[in-house]
Amino acid sequence: MARQHRWLASACMGGTTIPSHPQHLDRSSSSGMRGIAEMLALAVVYLASCWLGLTQATIASAASPVWPATGVSLAGLVLLGVSRWPVIFVAACTSILWFGSVPPAATLAMGVGNTLEAVLGALLLRRLGFSPSLSRTQDVLALTTTAATCTLVSALVGSLSLVLTGKVAWTGIGLTAWVWWLGNAMGALVVGPVLLLLSRPRPEPRWREALLLAVITVGVALWAFSGGNRGSPLAYAQVFLLFPLGVWAALRFGSRGAAFSTLFIAVASIWGTVAGHGAFISREDGRTVDLLELQLFLAIIAFTGLQLAAARAERKSASAQLELLATAVRSVHEGVLICELRPGEELQLVYANESFRAMVGCSHQELARRAPRELCGTGIEPEVQQRLEEALLVRDFFRGEVVLAHKDGSRVHSEVQLSPVRNAEGQVLYFVATYRDMTKQKQLQAKLVSAERIAAVGTLAAGVGHEINNPLAYLMLNLEGVAQSLARGPAGLAEAEVNLESAREGAERIRVIVRDLKVFSRQQGEERAMLDVNEVVVPALRMAAHAVRPRARLVEDFGHPPRVMGSEARLGQVLLNLLVNALQAIPEGNPEHHEVRVRTGRDDTGRALVEVTDTGCGMPPPVLARIFDPFFTTKSSGEGTGLGLAICQQIIQAHGGELRVRSEEGKGSSFTVLLPSAEGRPAKTPLPAAPTPVPVTSPRRRILIIDDEPRLAQSMRMLIEPSHDVFVTTRGAEALAWVNEGQRFDLVLCDLQMPGTTGMDVYAHLRAHVPELAERLVFISGGAYTQATRDFVRSVRNRILEKPVRPDELLATIDEALATTPSAA
């Protein structure tokens, strides 16, 4: 133990720390023994290959057309490392001294040349990214380039050393270098690949086919180079039979098969040629070898076989990657489309994965060769359509939301990402589109938006109730006054008329409040139309006015903003939410000291501007930085969910606009809504023009009223009956029975939503049996639409009056519809 410690201490003092653990010592010792064994094996193989080459030397017992030692040294340094070069130098000098008859000086020079040849070759292959597996065409080209260039070093050094030592005359230096270079180059190209591939893991063996191929190759090679057809056309024909065997080996057994096939052919061809047989022997004397033809033959065999094998390996690898990619695309959860860019700048679908086919409910055959735009139907917004067209025009990336049309007629909301695919020249030939199904997310967002909208209206419920109670109170009082005035007889008629006018004003105020409530509580508000921003702001102000007054002065500063394309309900929700936030930022009790200002106009870029400014508590920078984060709120749990401003920002961004905020703690906040101008383009869903009263000059007509509310139906009857014959029913089925019995009507006023037979059912029946009357059907609706009703409303051209209908509007609509209608028989 003491000796061991002294040994370790001396090793450390020498500058090298030796691990003291026995396992480490074993591994270090094992690694050292392996290195020694590798160097000994390299030396033995190199010596054997040198002996083989020198036995075929044709010039000065040193220059040989057969020099496998180059392949051994090159493969050895590539596999074991360039640091093994001393083994090559010592083995080269030893073999030349032992087997050759060359002076020591020339021997030393030849050893240096052979070593430099191998070292430069290994370094060049490393620089070129060479892989010993030879599975890429670039590896074959790198090996061929190395065999052709680095062997020049050995050929020039060796030839010059023979000339300088008097073994070769100066006139023979060219031939000597030529023979030397060809022998070394063929050694690198024929023997090197065999040794490199022997070091690689063996693939699954096909011993029977391999044995059969080896026997046939050796047999054909011996037959081609052992007959008496020296240099004749028949001899060349025999040689050509070896090429398909090399192709067989390369395609079936890869680089390993090509390398061994080339080695077998090389051994047979060199043996036969040296023995005086084959296509490369002169016919005149039977002894002159056409060295160039022999070496060129071997080079073509070796290069062709290795290139074919590498191409096969690359194709197999590419096929595997393609299959992996196809499997991944098929399995990915998002829908994937691959579209070809046709010469007419039109995209044509060439591939759709299973997820996309499930999204639209179509098979591959139904989707093949269709244009992707056909799958979107009318579910793409104009702004998104414009950005998409611009991206396609400049061949750029695109991201946006589109609505796909499912085969069953339903709509699938999706987020699409479109990416161009370029070829080697940079031309875009394909586009790859990925679709993420956002239908459930959209449904959840719609529920959150609706909940937040109702929450905002709920915050103002007391004020809304007060706003309704005031006109309702004097409506009832004035109606009571009318009754009392009429009870006094003719003397009270004038007073009754005044009371009735006041009652009508009260009813109109209630109608406006109800309309505002319907706008803000509408479950669906995505229908977009050309809007006057001021007309969107006014209902929000009416809703919030009563709640703001106990806290601050409400100042209206209306300018002249451009018209915008948008949803009245969605934009109204944003403004209502901003007003609620403003009033909640101001404490009650000092309205004369605070102000909520609503300003409209246009900004410097021509966009519509709506600004809501308050003089409330303001926000510190940390809060200001997070106000648009979902569920972030500084209010108590009973006052806010933290979704209001996040939803507002989402709504404004969906309209292509911006929502900006400025705030200073203790001095208030200012929220600015900026929306793109829609002036200069047609509205997507233009609002119907207000009807113009038409003088009643036509005869009395037959009008059918269908409404499940008896009092409303009778009220309309009382209004219309002085001018026309009116028939009333509260059931759609009864009305259809009258029509089926042959009764004729000039006009139908029908409630859209009724129990049993709905207005949609009435329309469908009339469309099928009395189509001319279906064109003269006017719907009256309370506005609580179902999804089916919303789809129906978008599909028909008939006029729809919203309850409560003003008497003058109802009469004008009837007169307008009857103006060009012939009287019923």
User: Please, is 555 exposed, middle or buried when counting C-beta atoms within 10 Å of its C-beta (0-12, 13-18, 19+)?
Assistant: exposed
Instruction: Please spell the DSSP secondary structure of 624-678, one letter per residue.
Output: HTTTTSTT--SS-TTT--S-HHHHHHHHHHHTT-EEEEEEETTTEEEEEEEE---
Which whole number is the average pLDDT over 474-503?
A: 75
Alpha helices in 346-460 (DSSP H): 354-360, 364-367, 373-376, 382-394, 439-459
Q: Which two tokens stand for residue 63?
A: 């220059």
Which whole number is the average pLDDT over 313-330?
A: 76
- Predicted local distance difference test score (pLDDT) of residue 749: 93
Q: Side chain identity at 774, as an amino acid letter?
A: A
Q: Is the pLDDT of residue 470 over 70?
A: no
Q: Which residues pair with 432 in a beta bridge?
A: 338, 419
Cα separation of 179 and 522, whole Å?
95
Q: Is the pLDDT of residue 626 over 60?
A: yes
How confident is residue 684, by pLDDT bands cut at 50, 70 and 90? very low
- Mean pLDDT for the chain overall: 79
How confident is residue 281, by pLDDT bands cut at 50, 70 and 90? confident
Q: Which two tokens stand for residue 77?
A: 């340094």
Cα separation of 661 and 670, whole Å?
6
Higher pLDDT, 807 or 381: 807
φ, ψ dihedrals at 217, nearest 5°: -65, -50
Percent of the chain scored above 70 by pLDDT? 80
- Predicted local distance difference test score (pLDDT) of residue 597: 92
Q: Which residues contact 459 (CB under 8 A, 6 or more apart)?
A: 547, 580
- Predicted local distance difference test score (pLDDT) of residue 592: 84
Q: How many residues does the chain have?
A: 825
CATH class of 702-818: alpha beta
Q: Half-sphere exposure of 399 toward its Cβ, with a 13 Å CA cutoff?
A: 1
- Predicted local distance difference test score (pLDDT) of residue 393: 79
Cα separation of 405 and 293, whole Å?
70
Which whole number is the average pLDDT over 387-393?
A: 79
Q: Is the pLDDT of residue 254 over 60?
A: yes
- Predicted local distance difference test score (pLDDT) of residue 558: 92
- Predicted local distance difference test score (pLDDT) of residue 460: 55
Query: Which CATH architecture is the domain 27-201 placed in?
Result: Orthogonal Bundle (1.10)
This prediction has a pTM of 0.47
CB atoms inside a 10 Å sphere around CB 201: 5
Cα separation of 400 and 384, whole Å?
7
What is the CATH code of the structural domain delimited by 332-437?
3.30.450.20
What helix, strand, coil percent values describe the chain, rounded to 5? Answer: 55, 15, 30
Cα separation of 150 and 117, whole Å?
5
Q: Is the pLDDT of residue 107 over 80?
A: yes
Sheet with 411-422: strands ordered across: 347-352, 335-341, 428-437, 411-422, 398-405
Distance of CA 173 to the CA centre of its chain: 66
Weakest mean pLDDT among 203-207, 335-339, 463-467, 639-643:
639-643
Q: Which residues pair with 702 in a beta bridge?
A: 725
- Predicted local distance difference test score (pLDDT) of residue 14: 38
Q: Which residues contact 229 (CB under 8 A, 6 or more apart)?
A: 235, 238, 279
How confident is residue 269, by pLDDT bands cut at 50, 70 and 90? confident
Cα separation of 221 and 212, whole Å?
14
Cα separation of 168 and 708, whole Å?
123
Q: Is the pLDDT of residue 761 over 80?
A: yes
For β-strands 800-802 and 777-781, DSSP reports them as parallel
User: Please, is 320 exposed, middle or buried when counting C-beta atoms within 10 Å of its C-beta (0-12, 13-18, 19+)?
Assistant: exposed
Per domain, the residue ranges of the chain are: 27-201, 204-330, 332-437, 448-675, 702-818
- Predicted local distance difference test score (pLDDT) of residue 737: 92
Cα separation of 143 and 137, whole Å?
10
How confident is residue 733, by pLDDT bands cut at 50, 70 and 90? very high
Cα separation of 748 and 776, whole Å?
7
C-alpha torsion sign, points 34, 38, 40, 45: positive
- Range among 68-72, 205-209, 290-294 rated most confident: 68-72
Which whole number is the average pLDDT over 732-759?
A: 90
Q: Is the pLDDT of residue 762 over 90?
A: yes
φ, ψ dihedrals at 738, nearest 5°: -60, -40
Q: Is the pLDDT of residue 17 over 50?
A: no
Higher pLDDT, 346 or 600: 600
- Predicted local distance difference test score (pLDDT) of residue 598: 93
- Predicted local distance difference test score (pLDDT) of residue 515: 66
Cα separation of 759 and 763, whole Å?
6
Q: Which two tokens stand for residue 323?
A: 């299959």
- Predicted local distance difference test score (pLDDT) of residue 26: 52
* CA–CA–CA angle 719, 725, 730 (5° rounding): 70
Percent of the chain scored above 90 by pLDDT? 15
- Predicted local distance difference test score (pLDDT) of residue 448: 63
* CA–CA–CA angle 469, 474, 480 (5° rounding): 125
Map tokens 């051209």 to a residue.
797
Instruction: State the maximum Cα–Cα separation within the chain, in Å, rounded to a whole number.
Output: 154
- Predicted local distance difference test score (pLDDT) of residue 696: 44
- Predicted local distance difference test score (pLDDT) of residue 458: 59
Q: For every residue of 187-240, which 3-state class applies, written as one string? A: HHHHHHHHHHHHCCCCCCCCHHHHHHHHHHHHHHHHHHCCCCCCCCHHHHHHHH
Q: Side chain identity at 651, as an amino acid letter?
A: I
Higher pLDDT, 270 or 757: 757
Q: For every residue of 552-580, which 3-state class applies, written as one string? A: CEEEEECCCCCCEEECHHHHHHHHHHHHH
Higher pLDDT, 595 or 276: 595
Q: Side chain identity at 698, as an amino acid letter?
A: S
Sheet with 595-602: strands ordered across: 553-557, 595-602, 608-614, 668-675, 658-664
- Predicted local distance difference test score (pLDDT) of residue 11: 34
Q: Which residues contact 311 (CB under 8 A, 6 or more apart)?
A: 137
How confident is residue 690, by pLDDT bands cut at 50, 70 and 90? very low
Q: Is the pLDDT of residue 53 over 70?
A: yes
Which whole number is the average pLDDT over 327-351?
A: 76
For β-strands 747-751 and 777-781, DSSP reports them as parallel
Q: Which residues pair with 39 in a beta bridge?
A: none
**pLDDT for 342-352, tens place per residue?**
766 677 788 88
Cα separation of 707 and 752, whole Å?
9
- Predicted local distance difference test score (pLDDT) of residue 764: 92
Alpha helices in 81-172 (DSSP H): 85-99, 104-127, 137-149, 151-164
- Predicted local distance difference test score (pLDDT) of residue 152: 92
Residue 419 · residue 397 · CB < 8 Å:
yes
Third-level CATH fold of 448-675: Heat Shock Protein 90 (3.30.565)
Weakest mean pLDDT among 407-411, 560-564, 611-615, 671-675:
407-411
Residue 216 · residue 267 · CB < 8 Å:
no
Q: Is the pLDDT of residue 786 over 80?
A: no
Map tokens 């096939």 to a residue.
261
